[in-house]
Chain A
Amino acid sequence: MIGPEFLETVTRALPGAEAEVVVRRVTRGLTRFAGSAIHQNIATETDQVRLRVHRDGRTVALTGHDLDSLVDRARTALAGAPADRAWPGLTPPTAPTSPGNEDPETAAATPADRAARVRDFVRAAGGLETAGFVSTTAYRASYANTLGHTLEGGTTEAALDGIARTGTSDGVARYASVRLGEIDGARLGARAAVKARASARPEPLAPGRYEVVLEPAAVTDVLTCLGHYGFNGRGYAEGLSFARLGETQLDDAITLLDDPVGPGGGGLPFDAEGTPRDTLTLVSRGTVRAVLHDRATAALAGGAATGHYSDAGFGPLGSCLHLRAPTRQPADEVDGPEADSHVAALVAQVGRGLLVTDNWYTRVLDPKTLVMTGLTRNGLWLIEDGQVTRPVQNLRFTQSYPQALGPGAVLGVGAAATGQPGDRLGTAYRAPALRLASWNYTGNAAG
């Protein structure tokens, strides 16, 4: 418990201040490969202290490596900082929800462990050029504040994200877990190769509205954007979100959680304000039940903090968004380009539509309607009469995500969710495939 020790130093130096200290250690290994060789191999060990102090109506937040220096700078900054009339106060003593999902083997992973999975991926791709990464990360954090609240926890994450390439196509396979032991480089390499070969020499397709099966990788992009904009407590409080608590705005097939503490969940079990994270139901059978809050946005919106403080400047963000699937039944490998048997089962229900592996470079046109533009990537196929019939060239879309998931628009949910790498350190996703009635493709390779 190092947080309380550090807090003692702060309270001696800044008597009378409301203060909180978070001490974080991150041990990260990242092995990147391209051209079927490891070209970047990185390991870092970082220790960081975050100190937030409120005194005489002024607030400062500082991060650094040396506590004495931080305290000195806090004292100086407090003397000149502008008034903070929105200070939400410190988190009162609150029982922890979980110590976090940690795996000792992942925390102790070596460059050789990561390289072995890269080697398996490359070999399984059967001679196709490959690129991607294997990563392992361990987080430990200790929190303490002057109200006497303390927390301790950690988490681990491991991920493999790789592509296999023909001269005219790429195929992707990715998987993320708390445990490195669940990462099977050979299985993922083989899957990426199947997808790459099946999408070789794609043909042009006219833009328009298509029924789609989004594989878990593409669904992860949808969850990312919903989390950043729709369920962001800052945007919600300011009227920039589509979300309206208690209203059925999405299809009743949609149940969305933020779940860092559930089985397989990634992310720390509390945030930098010391709010414990629990399983948070954002959407239950299409009805919006909650949004992500830190203490400030909760005060603004009249709700409770949910443990999603972020210092990234975007307001509260998700830690482990999980789109619930009907079962936990493991998927089987399939011969075709579908990611697995759960995806293939959805494809079999489609009369005419598209199988979408991945969305790429999605950006918001309007946060309230959540109209996004982006492109398909890493494999796109036409589906006819329940069968994948031919690969097609990537398409650009301009689509409102809440509309795509709206009542009556979700025609199927994959049987089980799969772990997907997060877009930020300390985040993860669990997503099944989705079959959606319509997706608006607005451009193709011709523009």
Chain B
Amino acid sequence: MWIKSRTNSLGSMSDFDEAQSAVEAALAAGARYADARVMHRRYESMRARNGEIEELTQREDAGLGVRALVGDSWGFYAISELSDIAARKAGRVAAEIAEASATVPGRRVELSAAAASIDSWAGGCEIDPLAVPLSDKGDLLSGATKTAHAAGADLAEGVYQIWDTAKWFVSSEGHRIDQRIRECGGGIWATVIGDGETQRRSYPSYRGQYGTRGWELIQELDFGAHAARIADEARALLTAPLCPAGETTLILGDEQMSLQIHESIGHAIELDRILGWEAAFAGTSWLDLTKLHQLRYGSPLLNIVIDPTIPGALGSFGYDDEGSPAVARDAVRDGIWVGVLAGRDSAGVAGLPYGGSVRADGALSLPMVRMTNVGLEPGPHTLDEIIAATDDGIMMETNRSWSIDDKRLNFQFGTEIGWEIKRGKRGRMLRNPTYTGIGPSFWGSMDMLSSEIVQWGTPNCGKGQPTQVGHTGHPAAPARFQNVRVGVRG
């Protein structure tokens, strides 16, 4: 048969042998370092609109990807066939590709040190999401979207997504690691169509909510309990006053804060961007490595931690895709930039002693620097205290649009809903809220931060060429910012 692959079920198969064969073949073909990942991933999603289930989708991917470092040049080759013969060929081809890379050579490649772990790791999962009956899942989505539609949404949508990933990693330094990670999440949306524009409310956020957890996460979200509310709010937005234009005090809800962190801190501290390796597409960073441990990124309230060890958060794992163990480290401490997201080769160039943040979107994708869980430590306030302390301002919740420049400085975000804040109380609803700013001055203006941390998950982070979709986590809490430009319109 033209297409053929191993069909063992997840959790019982072991593909160390193929990975080992690929590494051996790459070394035999001249590589001074090689690693290989076999990955097997199952995916399931279901969508509903206005009470009707749309297509049920199930995908299953398996494959092997091998990296070979020949001299100071890399090659990567990936295949969807799993066999010893194919794996050995893949190792040889990866080395040949590296030789082609050497015709346009770069600087010396030194990998930062990483202990050669031999380990097995699995994330937490109380209820296997793929074992939940499809009829139960369908009832959940059709019920919630039917409720929202009946409550006034022109378009009520719901979705869940499930990923179940097993991977086996082998390196020429002696790594031998297998991992099993299950991810799950979803959301519901209510859209109303007015005269010339649309309004939307989402629950629990525009992207839904996701984690390295089982179906219990979906159960906790309780879509049905929020369906009518989001439809009501979307309908009310159509006639709400426009967000005023000007400079004001801005309070952001925790979900919008998670995206603000993702876009203007998480991507900015990716070492491959800082080194210019993504300059042509994803972009670079405004950060200069010579300013590490000196640069003020934001107010003293700003403490950002890179932590892939958070149980259940979407960016959690046991080891990254270079075999580096999950370790928590500071990125911003008391407002000062102190750390980056790195891989072993970028860390080697930068002279840093750690990697640990390299992942790939499947076996066929090249591992690259990605966010893990990048987020806030709790602040000293509560949202109620922040509102009560605000005489005149605007509060914005639930992301609707996002745009930022290629250096991760100049951003503009829109949210689904805004609220006038007057004399310490939440007032009128505002429609089409937007705000814009420049990263360090914006973060420098943060003068109140809540302690009410939520572990938000972002399942759609795009980076690289061809674009890989990453899953990232962002502990976030409501915060207040001063002198922010709001109400930008076309």
- Chain A interfacial positions (CB closer than 8 Å to B): 2, 23, 25, 28, 30-49, 52, 59-70, 73, 77, 80-86, 110-112, 114-116, 118-119, 122, 129, 131-133, 135, 161-163, 165, 170, 172, 238-240, 296, 311, 313, 360-369, 371-375, 377, 394, 396, 398-400, 403, 425, 440, 442-443, 445-447
- Contact: B76 with A41, CB < 8 Å? yes
Cα distance A132–B364 in the bound complex, in angstroms:
20
Would you call B277 and A44 a contact (CB within 8 A)? no
Cα(A45)–Cα(B193), bound, Å: 44
Known: A65-B62, A67-B1, A115-B100. A41 touches B412 (CB 8 A): no
Q: Which residues in B have their C-beta under 8 angstroms from that of A62? A: 57-60
Given contacts A63-B58, A365-B401, A369-B196, 17 further A-B contacts (CB under 8 A): A34-B279, A35-B106, A38-B104, A39-B74, A39-B106, A39-B277, A42-B76, A42-B366, A46-B364, A59-B56, A66-B3, A81-B53, A115-B101, A239-B193, A398-B412, A442-B488, A443-B410
**Distance from A241 Cβ to chain B, minimum over Cβ atoms (Å):** 10
Query: How far, in angstroms, from A25 to B57 measured CA to CA in the complex?
Result: 20
Docked pose: A369 CA to B62 CA in angstroms: 42
For residue B311, CB closer than 8 A to chain A, the reply is no
Does B404 reach chain A (CB closer than 8 Å)? yes
Interface size on B, residues (CB 8 A): 88
Known: A32-B465, A59-B56, A115-B100. A445 touches B410 (CB 8 A): yes
State in angstroms the CA–CA spacing of A364 and B1 once bound together.
45
Q: Which residues of A contact B61 (CB under 8 A)?
A: 64-65
* B278 in contact (CB, < 8 A): yes
Please judge, given known A-B contacts A45-B79, A67-B3, A447-B441, whether A396 and B410 are in contact too, CB under 8 Å.
yes
Is the Cβ of B465 less than 8 Å from the Cβ of A447? no
**B73/A38 in contact, CB under 8 A:** yes
Partner of B77, one of A34, A43, A48, A296: A43
B59, A84: Cβ atoms closer than 8 Å: no
Contact code string B82-112 (vs A, CB < 8 Å = 1, else 0) = 0000000000010011101111111100000
A-B interface contact total, Cβ < 8 Å: 284
Given A133-B465, A239-B193, also A44-B59 (CB < 8 A): no
Q: Is B400 an interface residue (CB 8 A)?
A: yes
Question: Taking the nearest CB of chain A, how far is it from the CB of B460, in angstroms?
Answer: 10
The reply to whether A45 and B80 form a contact with Cβ atoms under 8 Å apart is yes
B52 CB within 8 Å of chain A: yes
Question: Could you tell me if A365 and B434 are in contact, using CB atoms closer than 8 angstroms?
Answer: yes
A399 partner residues in chain B, CB cutoff 8 A: 490
Across the interface, do A66 and B58 meet the contact criterion of CB distance under 8 Å?
Answer: no
Q: Say yes or no: B438 contacts A47, CB within 8 Å.
A: no
Q: For the complex, what is the distance from the CA of A80 to the CA of B130, rounded to whole Å?
A: 12
Q: Which of B106, B138, B400 contacts A37 (CB 8 A)?
A: B106
Q: Is the CB of A163 within 8 A of B280?
A: yes
* Complex CA–CA separation, A60 to B57 (angstroms): 6
Across the interface, which residues of A come within 8 angstroms of B404, CB to CB? 361
Cα of A157 to Cα of B133 in the assembled complex, Å: 42
Contact: A77 with B58, CB < 8 Å?
A: yes
Provide the bound-state CA to CA distance between A45 and B4, in Å.
Answer: 13
Distance (Å) between the CB of B404 and the closest chain A CB?
6
Bound-state CA distance A240–B197 (Å) is 8
Most buried by A among B60, B196, B412, B441: B412
**Which residues of the other chain, A, contact B139 by a CB distance below 8 angstroms?**
82
Near A by CB (< 8 A), chain B positions 305-346 give none
Map CB proximity to A onto B185-197 as digits: 1 under 8 Å, 0 otherwise. Answer: 0000001010011
Contact A361 B403 (CB under 8 A): yes
Whether A447 contacts B7 by the Cβ 8 Å rule is no
B76-A43 in contact (CB<8A)? yes
In the bound complex, residues from chain B placing their C-beta under 8 Å from that of A35 are 106-107, 275-277
B263-290 with Cβ < 8 A to chain A: 275-281
Cβ–Cβ contact A440 & B134, under 8 A:
no
What B residues does A374 contact at CB under 8 A?
Answer: 403
In the assembled complex, B226 has its CB within 8 A of some CB on chain A: no
8 Å CB contacts to A: which residues of B422-465? 432, 434, 436-438, 441, 465
| B179 beta carbon closer than 8 Å to chain A | no
Q: How far is the CA of A28 from the CA of B76 in the complex (A)?
A: 12
Are A122 and B104 within 8 A (Cβ)?
yes
CB-defined A-B contacts under 8 Å, sample of 30: A28-B466, A30-B466, A32-B465, A38-B105, A39-B106, A41-B76, A41-B100, A42-B366, A43-B93, A44-B79, A45-B78, A45-B80, A46-B79, A61-B55, A61-B56, A62-B57, A62-B58, A63-B60, A65-B60, A65-B81, A238-B154, A240-B193, A361-B406, A363-B401, A363-B402, A364-B401, A373-B414, A400-B490, A442-B436, A447-B438
Task: Looking at the assembled complex, report how far the CB atom of A410 sits from the nearest CB atom of chain B, in whole angstroms.
Answer: 18
Provide the bound-state CA to CA distance between A32 and B368, in Å: 13
What residues of A have a CB within 8 angstroms of the CB of B490 in the complex? 365, 369, 371-373, 398-400, 403, 440, 442
What 0/1 pattern do residues 158 to 177 of B give for CB contact below 8 A with A? 00000000000000000000
Could you say which residues of chain A place their CB within 8 Å of the CB of B466?
28, 30, 135, 425
Residue of B nearest to A207 (CB): B488
Q: Is the CB of B97 within 8 A of A111?
A: yes
B63 interface residue (CB < 8 Å to A) = yes
Select the residue from A41, A69, A119 with max chain B CB neighbours within 10 A: A41
Q: How far is the CB of B235 from chain A (nearest CB, A)?
A: 15
B5 CB within 8 Å of chain A = yes
Question: 5 closest Cβ contacts across the A-B interface?
Answer: A37-B106, A82-B138, A111-B100, A80-B134, A65-B5
A44 in complex: contacting residue of B106, B197, B364, CB < 8 Å: B364
User: Would A165 and B434 count as touching, CB distance under 8 A?
Assistant: no
In whole angstroms, how far apart are the Cα atoms of A23 and B5 in the complex?
14
Residue of A nearest to B9 (CB): A69
Q: Which of A23, A64, A238, A443 contacts B436 (CB 8 A)?
A: A443
Contact present for A119 and B104 (CB under 8 Å): yes
User: Given the complex of chains A and B, what is the CA–CA distance between A372 and B414 in angstroms?
Assistant: 11
CA distance A49 to B73 in the complex (A): 34
Known: A65-B62, A369-B196. A84 touches B403 (CB 8 A): no
CA distance A75 to B96 in the complex (A): 43
B381 interface residue, CB < 8 Å from A? Answer: no
CA distance A118 to B206 in the complex (A): 40
Q: Does B473 contact A (CB under 8 A)?
A: no
**Known contacts A132-B280, A373-B401; A81/B134 CB under 8 A:** yes
Residues of chain B within 8 A of A111, CB atoms compared: 75, 96-97, 100-101
Residues of A within 8 A of B57 (CB): 60-63, 311
Q: How far is the CA of A440 from the CA of B46 in the complex (A)?
A: 39
* Chain B 24-35 interface mask (CB, 8 Å, partner A; 1/0): 000000000000
* Residues in A neighbouring B198, C-beta threshold 8 A: 240, 366-368
Pick the residue among B4, B58, B412 that contacts A61 (CB under 8 A). B58
Residue in B4, B102, B488 whose beta carbon sits within 8 Å of that of A443 in the complex: B488
Report Cα–Cα, A238/B389, bound state, in Å: 43
